[in-house]
Structure 1
Amino acid sequence: MARISYISGSVVKAKLEGERPSLLEMVYVGKDKLIGEVISVSEDEAVVQVYENTEGISLGEDITFSGEMLSAVLSPGLLGKAFDGIQRPLNRLGRKIKKGERYFPVDRDKRWRFFPSVKEGEYIFYGQEIGYVEEGSFIHRILSTGEGRAVYVAGEGDYTVEDTVVKLENGTEIKMLREHPLRVPLRFKKRLKPDIPMITGQRIIDFLFPIAKGGTASIPGGFGTGKTVLQQTLAKWSDADLIVYIGCGERGNEMTEVLNEFPQLEDPYTGKKLIERTVLIANTSDMPVSAREASIYLGITIAEYFRDMGYHVALMADSTSRWAEAIRELSARINEIPAEEGFPADLASKIASVYERAGYVEAFSGKKGSITVIGAVSPPGGDFSEPVTRHTRRFTTVFWALDKELASSRFYPAINYMLSYSGYVDTVRRWWEERSPEWFDLREWMIKILQEDDKLQRIVKLLGSESLPEDKRLVVEIAYLIKEIFLQQNAFDPVDAHSSPEKQIKIAEILRLVHDLWIKAFEEKKIPVKILKDQPEIQEFLRSKYEVGNDRIEEYDRLMERIKERYHHLILSYGE
C-alpha cells in the first residue's frame, strides 16, 4: 500500500508504507482504481504513470500494488476487434468511458469449437500446438504455455477461453486464454534470415525498395505527404496473413475514419472483410499519453502471439513520433534531465526496443512466422534530421522517405526515390530472380536513369528541356515514363491500386525495351526525341496500367511486340 504525494498529469508519486513494488509493476491508483505502472522506485517513493485521466484524484488517496506486470490478453476473439492503448475493447465503449471501469478484451462467455491436436499421456513441449479453433476463416492455433506429460486433454467440443483444455502432470492447466507482459518479448526458437519479400502491390516499394517478411521500415514525412493513406494501402494489399494497425496519437477524426472504413473494406485475397484478419489499436492524441506509450507494446505483443502460430504479421504504427512525444512528456513530468530537443536520453534504446521485436523466426511450435514492423514518422516541418527520424533510421532497414513537393504535385505514393533505400535487396534477390532473372539488372538500370534525370532536372528547371542536348533529353523523357507508368500509382483505381510481381516485371521490361529502341533510333538515324515519344504505342503504354489487370499480363507481351515493330519500321523508314 502507498499514498499519493504528488500529481502531475499522468504521473503520480506515492509515499511507500511497508511493501515495496517492483519496477514495471501494475498498480491501481486512487479511489477509482485507475490502472498505472511503476516506472521508478526509490527507498521511500514510487513513481507511477497512470493510463487513464487523472482528473479528480487527490493527495493522500491509496495506491494498491497488483504484483503483476501490465499484460496483454491473448486468446481467440482478438481478430476483427478494436482496442484502446490498454486493450479495452472500443466496441463496448460506445458510451462515455468511466474512469477505473474494467472491460475484459474478449468475450469470456463465448464458446469456441476446440479441436485437440494432442492426446493424454503425450509429452507436451512449451509452444507446441495442443489444438485449434476456427475464428471465421482463420485457424487460431492454441499453443502450450507449459511443459510436461498431459494427464487430461479436452475432447472436441465447445469451450470458453477460460476453460482448461489440457492439464499437465505437474499441475499446469492450459487454457485458450493466456496473458503476457507487454514489455517482455515472447520467446522463439531461432531467428531466420528474412529472404522472402512482403509483396505490397506498390511498384516503387516491391521493385525498387523492397521489404522482407520480418523486416523493419520507416515512413518519414511531413504533414500531408500521405503517410496514413500509404499505411492503409499496405494494410489492405500486403500479402501478410494478419494485420495489426496501431493508431498512436493520431488525430481523432483520422482514427474515426479508420475505425469506420476498415470494417467496410473488402479483403482482396479472401473476398471477405479485411477486418476479419485485422486487430486495430486506437489511442488518439486526446487520450492519456501514458496509454499512448503502451499502445505500441500492446500491438507488438499481439503480433508476436500470432507469429508463434506460424503466421506472417504486418504491424503498422502510425505514428511513432506521437509515441516518442508521449515518452518526452512523461520524462519531463518526472524531472528527468532532457537530452536533444527535450527527449529523454534513452530515446534511442526505446525505439530500438520496438523494432528489434520484428523478425522472421522459427517458433517453438516448429512453424515459421514473422512480424514486419512499418512505422510512420512525423518529423516537425519535414526535418529528417530531428531525433526520432534519425534514431528510427538507425534501427530500420528500409527507409521510404515521403516528399512534400511530390505530394503537392499529386505524385502518389510520394516516396522520394533519391532519398529512399532498402537493405533487403540482396536477401530477396533470389526470390525475385526466380520470377525474372533480369530483376536485379532492371532495378539497377531504373535507379541509374532516375539518378541521371535528377541531375538534369536542375538544368531543366532553370533553362527548360530545350536547352539539353538530344541524348540528354532522351534520358529525361525515359525517366518521365518511369515516373508516370511505374512509380506513380493510384490507390483508388481498381486496376492500378495493386500490381502483382509479374505485372511489375513486364512494365519494367517494356520500359527498358523502349529505352534501348530510342537509343538505337537516335544513334542510327538521329531521330528527334519528340518523334520517338509521340508514337501511339507509347500512349497505349501510358494507359495500360489502368487497363491491364494482374490477370491479363499476356497483353503486355502483345504490346511489347507492337512497340518493337513500330520502332523498327520507324528506324528503317525515317529520312526516306
Structure 2
Amino acid sequence: MDNRIYSINGPVVTVRNSSDFSMLEMVNVGDARLLGEVIGITGDKTTIQVYESTTGLRPGEPVYSSGSLLCAHLGPGILKNIFDGIERPLKDIAATQGAFISEGKTIPSLDENKKWNVTMKVKVGDTVKGGDIFATCPETDLIEHRSMIPVHISGVVETAVGDGEYTVTETLVKIKNDLGEVFEVKLAQDWPIRNPRPVSYRKPITLPLVTGQRVIDTLFPIAKGGAAAVPGGFGAGKTMTQHQLAKWCDADIIVYVGCGERGNEMTQVLEEFSELIDPKSGKPLLDRTVLIANTSNMPVAAREASIYTGITLAEYYRDMGYHVAIMADSTSRWAEALREISGRLEEMPAEEGFPAYLPSRISQFYERAGYIETLSGKEGSVTIIGAVSPQGADFSEPVTQNTKRFVRAFWALDKSLAYARHFPAINWNLSYSEYLDDLDRWYSQNVARDFTALRSEMVQILHEENQLMEIVKLIGSDVLPDDQKLTIEIAKVVRVGYLQQNAFHPDDTFVPFAKQYKMLKVISYLYDACKPLIQKKFPISSILNTGIFDEVIKIKYDVPNNNIALLDEYFDKIDKALSTIE
C-alpha cells in the first residue's frame, strides 16, 4: 500500500487508511526519510511522532515502514561518546555535516570501521543462552566491554572466530537452536528503548552509593540500585549537584542525560567532562562516561526519547555486571515534551495541562532502577538520579509530586541556600531518604556501630534549631535560655562545618566515610562537653570566646583526607579550650 502523509501538526504526522503499521514501530517520514515512531492507531488513522524537525515537510510525501521498534544500538564504542536523544553520534555529525544536524541523514551510532581487540569466551560446541558473555574487548582504559548473547537466542555454538581484531558489523559466532535455526551474533545488538532489559531477579538493596558529599552520605543516602529526585528552582544548583555526583560517586559507569537543557549549559557540561580526570584512576572521566545531549531547541519528540535511550544504555552496562549511575537533567523538561505532544494529539489534559498518563510514564522510568542478578549470574545495578525543575520552585506541581511517589530519596534544593553560597544547597528540613534502614547494617559493619546514632543526633539538633529560629524571628535570640542558644550554635557548626562543602577545595570536594564519621564524633563531643558548662551557669558567650567552635568548623579544610588521624587531636583541643573558662 502506498502510505502518504495526510496532515502535519508540529512533530505529529498522520497517515490515513493504512493497515501497514504496528504500534511503536519505527518509520521514515517524507522524502527526507525523517525518523519517526508510531504512537497511535485508530480505524482510519495512524499517528506518528517525528524525532527530527518537520520544517518543509508536505502532505502527500511517502511514509516508509521499517518493521522494527525504535531501538538503541548497543556495542563497544558507546563510552566516551556524545549522542543526541535518538543515539546519533554528535561528534561524527559535526565532522561530516558541521555544527547543525541535517534532517534525514542516518549516521551509525557506533563506528563501523573501528576494529576492537576481541578475546573470545566461547568455542564450538558450547551451549549458550541469552545474556551469556561470549566475547570481551577493552572499550576504554578503564572499562572492559563484555559482549552478550542477545536475550532471544539460545542453543549450541556452531562456529566461532578466534581472538583478534573485529568490527561491530562482523559475525563472530553462529548459534544453532533446538529448531535448527541458525543465528549470527556480532559485537553489537539492538534493543527497543521503551522495553526494560530482562534480568534473572532483583536483589534487596543493601549497599550505599558513596558520593563523598556529606549531606547526602550522612543525612540522605541513596543506595546502589535506588532512585533519587533533585528538585529545585532556577539557580538552585541542580546541574552542579549532579556534576559532583557524576564525578565522585562510586559507580563504575556514568550516563549523563541532558534533557531539554539550555545549549550554553550543555556545552559547558561537555567541555568540563572532556577535561575532568577520574579521581579514582587518574584517567579521563570520559573513559567511563557516556553523554546524551538534547538541548531545548532540539525537536521535542527527541527530548521525550532521550530519557529512554539513556536508561537503555545504563541497563546494557548493568547486564555486563557493572554498577551504573544515570543522571537525568531534567525530567521536568521531559514531562513538558510529553505535555506538548499530548496537546498536539488533542488528548484530554489533566492537572496543569500534563497528560493523564504522566504518573505512569514517570514510574516506568524510575522503576528501571534496581540492584539485580544478571542473566549470566553477575551482579549489577542502575541508580537513577533525576533532576526536577518545578516552575517558581513550587514543589506542589505535578511533576515533583508524582516523582516523589516513585523515588525513595528526595534532595530538595533551596534557592536561598544557593544564594548564601551554601552548597550543596540541599534543604535538610524538606529532604528525606527512605534507604536508611536498608543501609543500617552496612554502616555498622563498614563505618562504625554508632554512625547511625550520631546521624540521628545531628538531625535532631537541626530540627530543634529550625523550631528555635521561629521564636528568634519573632522576639529575638536574647530571650532564649543558654541551653537553647547552645543548640543554635552547635547547629551552626553542623550546617557550616559539616553540611556545607566546597567543590573547589582539594580535601573538601570529596570526603571519605572515615573522615565523615570522625567529624561527626568531634561535633558530638563538643556538644556534650559544653552541656555541663551551661548547667553550671557559664554564659554561652564565654564558651564561644574560646574560639573552639570556629576551629571545629574549619576541620573540613584543616584535616587532609590522607591524614584523618589528626581529627583525634581535636578531642584534647576541645577539653583544653573549655578548661580555660572561668
TM-score (norm 2): 0.96
1:113 aligned onto 2:124: no
CA shift, 1:564, in A, is: 2.9
Aligned to 2:103: 99
- Does 86-95 or 233-242 show the bigger shift? 86-95
- Does 411-420 or 165-174 show the bigger shift? 165-174
CA shift, 1:93, in A, is: 2.3
Separation (CA, whole Å) in 2 of partners of 1:227 and 1:446: 25
Aligned to 1:266: 277
Aligned to 1:14: 15
Paired residue for 1:488, among 481, 500, 504?
500
Paired residue for 2:566, among 548, 552, 555?
555
Within 5 Å, give how 1:175-254 maps onto structure 2: 175-254=186-265
Aligned to 1:39: 39
CA shift, 1:541, in A, is: 2.1
2:229–2:387 contact (8 Å) kept in structure 1: yes
Paired residue for 1:511, among 511, 520, 523?
523
2:523–2:552 contact (8 Å) kept in structure 1: no
2:16–2:45 contact (8 Å) kept in structure 1: yes
Aligned to 2:554: 543
Paired residue for 1:125, among 129, 143, 167?
129
- Does 159-168 or 478-487 show the bigger shift? 159-168
Separation (CA, whole Å) in 1 of partners of 2:189 and 2:254: 20
Task: Count how many residue pairs are aligned between Structure 1 and Structure 2.
Answer: 569
Residue aligned with 2:324, SS: strand
CA shift, 1:99, in A, is: 0.8
Aligned to 2:28: 28
Aligned to 2:474: 462
CA shift, 1:365, in A, is: 1.2
TM-score (norm 1): 0.97
2:124–2:159 contact (8 Å) kept in structure 1: yes
Residue aligned with 2:66, SS: strand
Paired residue for 1:422, among 433, 436, 441?
433
Aligned to 1:48: 48
1:249–1:319 contact (8 Å) kept in structure 2: yes
1:305 aligned onto 2:316: yes
1:3–1:16 contact (8 Å) kept in structure 2: no
Aligned to 1:256: 267
Separation (CA, whole Å) in 2 of partners of 1:280 and 1:152: 36
2:199–2:375 contact (8 Å) kept in structure 1: yes
Aligned to 1:144: 149
- Does 133-142 or 321-330 show the bigger shift? 133-142
CA shift, 1:536, in A, is: 3.8
1:503–1:550 contact (8 Å) kept in structure 2: yes
Q: Which amino acid aligns with 1:164?
A: T
Q: Which amino acid aligns with 1:521?
A: L
2:486–2:540 contact (8 Å) kept in structure 1: yes
Separation (CA, whole Å) in 1 of partners of 2:176 and 2:360: 41
Q: Deviation digits for residues 208-232 of structure 1, max 9, x if unmatched? A: 1000000000001111100000001
Paired residue for 1:500, among 484, 489, 512?
512
1:537–1:559 contact (8 Å) kept in structure 2: no
CA shift, 1:42, in A, is: 1.0
Aligned to 2:463: 451
Separation (CA, whole Å) in 1 of partners of 2:281 and 2:243: 17
CA shift, 1:264, in A, is: 0.2
Q: Which amino acid aligns with 1:135?
A: E
Q: Which amino acid aligns with 1:12?
A: V
- Does 536-545 or 65-74 show the bigger shift? 536-545
Separation (CA, whole Å) in 1 of partners of 2:324 and 2:103: 33
Q: Which amino acid aligns with 1:259?
A: L
- Does 554-563 or 215-224 show the bigger shift? 554-563
1:5 aligned onto 2:6: yes
Paired residue for 1:564, among 553, 560, 575?
575
1:249–1:285 contact (8 Å) kept in structure 2: yes
CA shift, 1:465, in A, is: 2.2
Separation (CA, whole Å) in 2 of partners of 1:387 and 1:483: 31
Separation (CA, whole Å) in 2 of partners of 1:458 and 1:467: 13
RMSD over equivalenced CA pairs, Å: 1.1
CA shift, 1:466, in A, is: 2.1
Percent identity of paired positions between Structure 1 and Structure 2: 49
Separation (CA, whole Å) in 2 of partners of 1:375 and 1:481: 30
Separation (CA, whole Å) in 1 of partners of 2:111 and 2:35: 21
Residue aligned with 2:314, SS: helix
Aligned to 1:153: 160
1:73–1:178 contact (8 Å) kept in structure 2: yes
Q: Deviation digits for residues 414-447 of structure 1, max 9, x if unmatched? A: 1110110001001111111112100110111111
Within 5 Å, give how 1:517-532 maps onto structure 2: 517-523=529-535, 525-532=536-543
Q: Deviation digits for residues 180-223 of structure 1, max 9, x if unmatched? A: 00001100001011110000110000001000000000001111
CA shift, 1:559, in A, is: 1.9
CA shift, 1:469, in A, is: 1.1
